[in-house]
Amino acid sequence: MRRNNDFIRMLMILAVLLIFAGITRGSAFMSVLNFQTIGKQLTEYGLMAMGLSLAMITGGIDLSTVYIANLCGASAALIMKSIAPHGEISGILIACVVALVIGLVCGGLNGFLVSVVKVPPMLATLGTYELFYGITIVLSNGKSITSISAFKKFASTMVFGVVPLPFVIFVVAAIILSVIIGMTPFGRRLHLVGVNSKAAAFSGINNVRVITAAYMISGLLAAVAGLISLSRVASVKADFGSSYVMMTILIAVLGGCDPDGGSGEIPGVAVAVIVLQVISAYLNTISWINNYYRQALYGLLLLGFMTYKYFRVKKRR
C-alpha cells in the first residue's frame, strides 16, 4: 500500500495546470467567480468518484452511482413537494434523510450482489444502474421533477461569503473518507480484500461485510450528490449526469486507484476531482473548442493514463 505518491503527483499536476491556465487565460480564468463555479460543479461527481474509488479499492467498480443519485434526488423532490410545499424545514429534513437511506439501501443491494451472490461488480452495478434508472423514470413519469423553491438556496449558499457550500461538503467528505480509508482498520481491510480476498478470508476478515460497507458508503455519497444536484439544478431527471459515469472512473484511476483492486487513497482521488474540473473549466474559456470534444478527451485521458501506468509497472519489474 503505497501512500501519498498519487496525492503529491496530482497536487503537482494541479499546480502546473493552474499556472498554465493563469498565464494563457489571465483574468478570464483567475477570477473568484470562476473558482466558485469550479467549486460548485465538482462536488456532485466528486462525491461519486470517491464512492467509486472505495469499490475499486476492493477490486470492484460502481457504475450505478449516478443513477442512485438521480433516484435519491427524485425521491427527495417528490417528498418535499407533498409534505413541504412551502419549504417547511422539517419536511425538507425528512426528505433528505429518506434520500440518504435510499442511497444506503441501493449501495447495500450492490454490495449484496457483489459479495454474497458474487456477480462480477461490473455486471452487478450495470444491472442496478438500469434498475435505479428505470425506477426513477417510473417515479418521474419520464419527465423532470422540479425542486421546491426553498431547497434551491442550499446549493447557492456561500460559506464565509465566498466558498460555495457544496464545495465545503466535498472537502469535509474528502477529509472524513481520507481518515477512514487511510487510517482505520476498516480502510486497511478494504485494501486487503482488494489485494487477495481469499487470504483475507483466511485472516478472519469478513469479506461480505467489508465489501458491502464499501458499496453502501458509495451509495450514501451518491445520495448526497443527488440532493446537491437537486438543489443546484433545481430539478432532477432520470438521465441527468450520464456523462459523470465515465468521469468518476477516470477520476478514480487518475487519483491512484488500481482497477485490479488493492491500491488507492482518497487524497489523491480528491485532488484528481479538482484537476478534472479545472481542465473542464479551462476548456470552457476557450471558444474554439467545442463541448462535443470533451467526451473524446476524457476517453483519451483514461486510456493514456492506463498505458502510462502499465509501462511504469512493467519497468519496475
Partner 1 sequence: MPDYILNCKGICKSFGGVHALRNVDLRVQRGEVHCLAGENGCGKSTIIKAISGFQPQDSGTIEFNGVTYKSLSPVLSIDLGIQVIYQDLSVFPNLTVQENLAINTVLSHKTKIYNHRQQREIAKKVMETLNLNLDLDVRVEQLPVASKQLIAIARALYAKANFLILDEPTTALTRKEVDRLFELIRGLKEKGMTVLFVSHKLDEMYEISDSITIMRSGEAVYTGEMKTLSEDDFTRYMTGHDIAFDTNKNPEGRIRKDVPPALEVSDLSGPGFRHVSFSVQPGEILGITGQLGSGRSELCNTLFGITKSEGGKISRDGKETSIHSVNDAIQNGIALVPEDRLTEGLFLPVSIMENITLVNYKDFTHSGILSQSAQESNSSEWVKEIHVKTDDHLLPVQTLSGGNQQKVVLAKWLSTKPKVLILNGPTVGVDIGAKYDIYQHLRDLASSGMAVIVASDDLAEVVRLCDRSIVMRSGVMSSEIPGEELTAENLTKAIM
Interacting residue ranges for partner 1, rule: CB under 8 A: 1, 179, 183-185, 187-189, 191-192, 195-196, 198-204, 206, 262
Closer residue to partner 1, CB minimum distance, 16 or 199: 199
Closest approach of partner 1 to the CB of residue 193, in Å: 10
Closer residue to partner 1, CB minimum distance, 191 or 232: 191
Closer residue to partner 1, CB minimum distance, 202 or 292: 202
Helical (H) or strand (E) element with 64: none
Closer residue to partner 1, CB minimum distance, 49 or 190: 190
Closest approach of partner 1 to the CB of residue 2, in Å: 10
Other Cβ atoms closer than 10 A to 164? 23
Closest approach of partner 1 to the CB of residue 211, in Å: 16
Closer residue to partner 1, CB minimum distance, 196 or 285: 196
* Grid coordinates given for 241: 449526469
Query: Whole-angstrom distance between the N-terminal and C-terminal Cα of the chain?
Result: 17
Closest approach of partner 1 to the CB of residue 47, in Å: 22
* Grid coordinates given for 171: 472537502
Closest approach of partner 1 to the CB of residue 33, in Å: 39
Closer residue to partner 1, CB minimum distance, 200 or 257: 200
Closest approach of partner 1 to the CB of residue 310, in Å: 16
Report the C-alpha gap between 160 and 152 in whole angstroms. 19
Return the closest-CA partner of residue 223 out of 68, 111, 45.
68
Return the closest-CA partner of residue 226 out of 117, 113, 132, 112.
132
User: What's the gap between Cα 108 and its chain centre?
Assistant: 17
Helix runs in the chain, H state only: 5-25, 32-57, 65-83, 89-115, 121-140, 149-156, 165-183, 185-195, 197-202, 207-233, 244-254, 266-285, 293-316
Report the C-alpha gap between 276 and 63 in whole angstroms. 19
Closest approach of partner 1 to the CB of residue 173, in Å: 17
Closer residue to partner 1, CB minimum distance, 92 or 253: 253
* Grid coordinates given for 54: 472505495
Helix (H, G, I), strand (E, B) or coil at 157: coil
Closest approach of partner 1 to the CB of residue 183, in Å: 5
Closer residue to partner 1, CB minimum distance, 203 or 243: 203
Report the C-alpha gap between 262 and 162 in whole angstroms. 38
* Grid coordinates given for 223: 445520495
Closer residue to partner 1, CB minimum distance, 177 or 230: 177
Closest approach of partner 1 to the CB of residue 207, in Å: 11
Report the C-alpha gap between 206 and 287 in whole angstroms. 53
Amino acid at 195: V
In this structure, the chain runs to a length of 317
* Grid coordinates given for 211: 465489501
